[in-house]
Structure 1
Amino acid sequence: MQPLDIDDGFDVHAHRDGLKLLKQGADSWHLSNPDDEYACPACGRAFDRLFVSAEPTVTFNSAPNGPICLARTDGELLVLTHESR
């Protein structure tokens, strides 16, 4: 498992082999990490879902069943969720 590289920002196209696009908006992406290809940049564990947003505000209608990690680049906020295992 390799770490999700966000040192120079997050490029969804650079990670397209290991991440699956679930939904794309104008300034956001919702992705899954189905084969645990990437490790969370915040905690180092495999993550289940990744939400990337360049929008100034975001509202979530539900919470995951496990921990949530946040990571920030210069232009985006990354929200990574982990299932309780």
Structure 2
Amino acid sequence: MTALDVHEVRHRLKLKKDAGHTKLFENRDSVACPACGEPFDDLLATDRREYCLDPPGSARLCVVREDDRLLLLTHQ
């Protein structure tokens, strides 16, 4: 598993929502998922210890737990 440096790939993502402790990004340039290596659709990054998510349709989810944040990535 590779870490995802959001700041490094920020120019390839579109910030859709910023709630301070949680950010939602859209992948605009086929950035690879740090869990499976495939391009993801959306990324939710949060420093909260828990988060409830209602993914649209039948999206596949990848979850990466880092020391200081949780990453949820959707794939269509």
Distance in 1, Cα, partners of 2:10 & 2:41: 15
Matched, 1:35 2:29: yes
Matched, 1:63 2:55: yes
Decide which of 72, 77, 81 is 2:70's aligned counterpart.
77
Q: 1:7-37, CA deviations, whole angstroms, 9 ceiling, x for partnerless residues?
A: xxx543322111110000121110010221x
Distance in 2, Cα, partners of 1:24 & 1:47: 19
User: Which amino acid counterpart does residue 14 of structure 1 have in structure 2?
Assistant: E
Q: Percent identity?
A: 38
Gaps of 5+ in 2: none
User: Which amino acid counterpart does residue 69 of structure 1 have in structure 2?
Assistant: C
Structure 1 length-normalised TM = 0.77
Matched, 1:20 2:14: yes
Matched, 1:54 2:47: yes
Structure 2 length-normalised TM = 0.85
- Higher helix share goes to which structure? 2
User: Which amino acid counterpart does residue 53 of structure 1 have in structure 2?
Assistant: T
